[in-house]
Chains A and B, each alone.
Chain A
Amino acid sequence: MSDVKLRVALLGAGRIGQEHSRALIADPRVQVVAVCDPRLEAARQTAATIPGAVATDESREILSSSGVDAIIICTPTDSHALLIEEGARAHKAVFCEKPVALDLQRTRQALRVVEESGVPFQIGFQRRFDSGYAEARKRIARGLLGRIDQFRSVGRDPSPPPKEYLAKSGGLFLDQAIHEFDLARFLVGEVHSVFAVGAVRFSHDAAELGDVDTATTILNFENGALGVIENSRRAVYGYDIVTEVFGEAGKLVVQAERKTPLRLFREGGSEQDHHHFFMDRFHDAFRAELEVFFTAVLERTKPSPGAADALGALRIGLAATSSQKLKRVVKLEEID
């Protein structure tokens, strides 16, 4: 371990920014030098929890500073692409929450700048770092399931986000289902075509915005496997994330049975609790993804998931969005 620490700027002090800040404090290889948020008070509050960090509302200063080696982007989606470009041009290593942008052209533009600058870039698909998914990937890669034939994944959020968030989210397929699309690529491989159906079952906000709150997507993988993905913006019992990969020699289920290692038995039966949302279900994964990013930066290897993965999941999301609107199968090659 080197005594010279990576100097990191945290951009965005919202919910996920605060979550990341705790992982940053805990990593001895990292010194957070600045927390930036247009809401200066939020920046101050988060910076106050990090020894040595200053608060600012001016991202340009940070991006032009020679005292910053890496930036962690946790700002609203519509600012990601520009910050990625500015960071890459200023030769900072970049970690960015998903997505780069909600359309293909803007995403490609930003990723081109990353490529040309050669800076390390990682996108925040944190599920890949969950112990369950990481183990699943290893076992599949070792061939323990044989040839993969089917993929099944459920993603249900406990409750829909506020309308202001929904309006800028890009819709259910690009905002929520994109995590399942990334898992599909991570565990099975590239997708050839999709067919998606969606409905409004409960959310007036979704209806008003032309979005859906419930959706099912069928995937055809390039390797011949079939997949089905179910999403809902509401699950009254908690955050419901289950993935199954089925192959000729076995199957794998990734599912957190309960949050607390406790079962209660009373008249009428037994109960156990459930994870509430992504913060608790993927707490360790949020830590692990940043650890891996900093290791890659320090060891000068390419972080993963990177630009190709950001683009790959986005293209499936765009294909599913247009399939749902056009009511027909959409091939990935149509998304360009």
Chain B
Amino acid sequence: MKPSSTIGVGFLGLGRMGETHLRNLGGLSDVQVIVVADPNLQAAEYGKRLSGAEIATTDVEQAISHPSVDAVVIVTPTDTHARLIELAVRAGKAVFSEKPIALDLKETKRVVDLIGQSKAPVQLGFMRRYDPGYVSAKQRIDAGELGRIETFRALSRDTYPPSLKFLRQSGGLFLDMAVHDLDLARFLVGEVEEVHSWGTVLIDSRFAEADDVDTAVTFLRFVNGAFGVVETSRRSNWGYDIRTEVAGAEGKVVVEGVQKTPAVFSRNFTATFDHFENFPDRFAAGYRLELEAFFKALQEGQLPTPGAEDALETLRVAIAAARSWREKRSIKLSEIAT
């Protein structure tokens, strides 16, 4: 039995990311995992042991509808998000889901409308918004410390190119990867009015087979008049390379986490320090803090953020970028259905 002040959780999806989230839930007081569900029962059982949950199951509907479950955490493959969010919202549960809601606008819009009507608390996993670097950047920009914002510059390079299987269902470079920087652009600077993208295959011909690109540059024109540029690449041999710069009339802010271990090693006329390997280590704090913020919002009766509307707006920018690459022309956001 859980105390009434405790939020009961139905946890869906015990892949690698799921395990990270589940471990982070363990550190939150007044939050108790009740059911862990995964199509692979062994994985669900492992999650049950890890979290002290009561039930391990392969049945997601059981996990969602269990009477002690107040909130559903969705860490399943992308193509299941929309259906699971819908089920949870219809069952009156709060939802934390990994991004995206869906890869196409119509399905996303349908779910966003449903969430809007139900007024259910829903948060999407744009974890960078909870990285202490981006949180601090946002606070300083909002406090006017940079003056009027003039330019935004973001660069993301993933350490390892994904598998062809993943690529085919990923939605492509713009919707799967650049979307994080496009979300930061909206978070830090504001809404986007127009985009222009170039994309190419420089790393691996498999991307061409998947009708995708592995390297891209996207130009942004914001509603407030600022300019932005986003560089995206599926490979960086030296580590997970994520850098962001926002410059204004009175200053600029740079968010970059390069060094993972606080040690510098000097030998043979060279000083070396290490590098973050991938998103789980670079954004470890972001993953922890986004869940903390979600449950804090629920406890205080606030709507968590970023919510479904944010996810929809960011998706629209990503879709505009992808279309710009395909159609080889600038795309105004007004061309993308709302």
A: residues with CB less than 8 A from B are: 1, 3, 22, 25-28, 48-51, 130-133, 135-136, 139, 144-145, 249-257, 259-267, 273
Give 21 A-B contacts (CB < 8 Å), ordered by A residue: A25-B29, A28-B26, A28-B50, A28-B51, A50-B29, A51-B32, A130-B262, A132-B262, A132-B263, A135-B261, A139-B265, A144-B265, A145-B267, A250-B265, A250-B267, A251-B266, A253-B264, A261-B131, A264-B145, A266-B145, A266-B146
Contact between chains at A260 and B136 (CB < 8 Å): yes
Given contacts A264-B140, A265-B253, contact A25 B262 (CB under 8 A): no
B132 CB–A CB distance under 8 Å: yes
Chain A contacts for B29, CB-based, 8 A: 25, 48-50
| Residues from 241 to 287 in B contacting A, C-beta threshold 8 Å | 250-257, 259-268
Determine the residue in chain A with the shortest Cβ distance to B3. Answer: A51
Determine the residue in chain B with the shortest Cβ distance to A273. Answer: B136
Contact between chains at B263 and A254 (CB < 8 Å): yes
| Chain A CB within 10 Å, residue with most, of B49, B146, B256 | B49
Given contacts A1-B49, A26-B23, A130-B262, contact A265 B254 (CB under 8 A): yes
| Residue in B6, B23, B251, B261 whose beta carbon sits within 8 Å of that of A267 in the complex | B251
Q: From DSSP, what is the main secondary structure of chain B's interface residues?
A: mixed
B161 CB–A CB distance under 8 Å: no
Determine the residue in chain B with the shortest Cβ distance to A51. Answer: B32
Contact between chains at A136 and B263 (CB < 8 Å): yes
CA distance A85 to B323 in the complex (A): 71
Contact between chains at A261 and B133 (CB < 8 Å): yes
CA distance A254 to B273 in the complex (A): 10
Given contacts A130-B262, A250-B266, A254-B262, contact A263 B26 (CB under 8 A): no
CB distance from A32 to the nearest CB of B (A): 11
CB distance from B246 to the nearest CB of A (A): 10
Chain B contacts for A263, CB-based, 8 A: 253-254, 256
CB distance from B330 to the nearest CB of A (A): 31
CA distance A50 to B30 in the complex (A): 8
Chain B contacts for A132, CB-based, 8 A: 261-263
CA distance A259 to B27 in the complex (A): 21
B137 CB–A CB distance under 8 Å: yes
Chain B contacts for A266, CB-based, 8 A: 145-146, 250-251
Contact between chains at A51 and B253 (CB < 8 Å): no
A-B residue pairs, 3 tightest by C-beta? A250-B267, A266-B251, A261-B257
Chain A contacts for B134, CB-based, 8 A: 262
Determine the residue in chain A with the shortest Cβ distance to B251. Answer: A266
CB distance from B191 to the nearest CB of A (A): 24
CB distance from B44 to the nearest CB of A (A): 14
CA distance A136 to B274 in the complex (A): 12
| Residue in B49, B251, B252, B254 whose beta carbon sits within 8 Å of that of A28 in the complex | B49
Determine the residue in chain B with the shortest Cβ distance to A262. Answer: B133
CA distance A84 to B145 in the complex (A): 53
CB distance from B93 to the nearest CB of A (A): 21
CB distance from B67 to the nearest CB of A (A): 19
Given contacts A251-B266, A266-B145, A267-B251, contact A261 B132 (CB under 8 A): yes
CA distance A257 to B261 in the complex (A): 10
Contact between chains at A26 and B27 (CB < 8 Å): yes
CA distance A267 to B145 in the complex (A): 11
CA distance A261 to B137 in the complex (A): 10
Determine the residue in chain B with the shortest Cβ distance to A46. Answer: B29
A-B contact count (CB 8 A): 103
CA distance A46 to B174 in the complex (A): 46
| Chain A CB within 10 Å, residue with most, of B27, B51, B257 | B27
CA distance A260 to B267 in the complex (A): 28
Chain B contacts for A22, CB-based, 8 A: 27
Determine the residue in chain A with the shortest Cβ distance to B257. Answer: A261
| Residues from 295 to 330 in B contacting A, C-beta threshold 8 Å | none
B116 CB–A CB distance under 8 Å: no
CA distance A254 to B254 in the complex (A): 23
Chain A contacts for B27, CB-based, 8 A: 22, 25-26
B225 CB–A CB distance under 8 Å: no
CA distance A144 to B49 in the complex (A): 41
CB distance from B33 to the nearest CB of A (A): 11
B52 CB–A CB distance under 8 Å: yes
| Residue in A1, A28, A252, A267 whose beta carbon sits within 8 Å of that of B263 in the complex | A252
Contact between chains at A264 and B251 (CB < 8 Å): yes
Chain A contacts for B140, CB-based, 8 A: 264
Chain B contacts for A130, CB-based, 8 A: 262
Determine the residue in chain B with the shortest Cβ distance to A5. Answer: B52
Contact between chains at A262 and B263 (CB < 8 Å): no
Q: A28-B26, A48-B29, A253-B264 are in contact. List 7 more A-B contacts (CB 8 A).
A: A28-B23, A51-B52, A131-B260, A260-B132, A260-B133, A261-B132, A267-B251
Chain A contacts for B253, CB-based, 8 A: 262-265
CA distance A144 to B268 in the complex (A): 11
CB distance from A179 to the nearest CB of B (A): 15
Chain A contacts for B264, CB-based, 8 A: 252-253, 255
Determine the residue in chain B with the shortest Cβ distance to A136. Answer: B263
| Residue in A262, A265, A267 whose beta carbon sits within 8 Å of that of B136 in the complex | A262
Contact between chains at A28 and B262 (CB < 8 Å): no
CA distance A26 to B21 in the complex (A): 12
Chain A contacts for B137, CB-based, 8 A: 262
CB distance from B2 to the nearest CB of A (A): 8
CA distance A265 to B145 in the complex (A): 10
CA distance A227 to B132 in the complex (A): 36
Chain B contacts for A51, CB-based, 8 A: 2, 6, 32, 52
CB distance from B164 to the nearest CB of A (A): 33
CA distance A145 to B272 in the complex (A): 13
Mask, B39-65, CB within 8 Å of A = 1, is 000000000011110000000000000
Given contacts A26-B26, A28-B51, A139-B265, contact A265 B252 (CB under 8 A): yes
Chain A contacts for B260, CB-based, 8 A: 131
CB distance from A326 to the nearest CB of B (A): 36
| Residues from 2 to 32 in B contacting A, C-beta threshold 8 Å | 2, 6, 23, 26-27, 29-30, 32
Determine the residue in chain A with the shortest Cβ distance to B264. Answer: A253
Determine the residue in chain B with the shortest Cβ distance to A1. Answer: B49
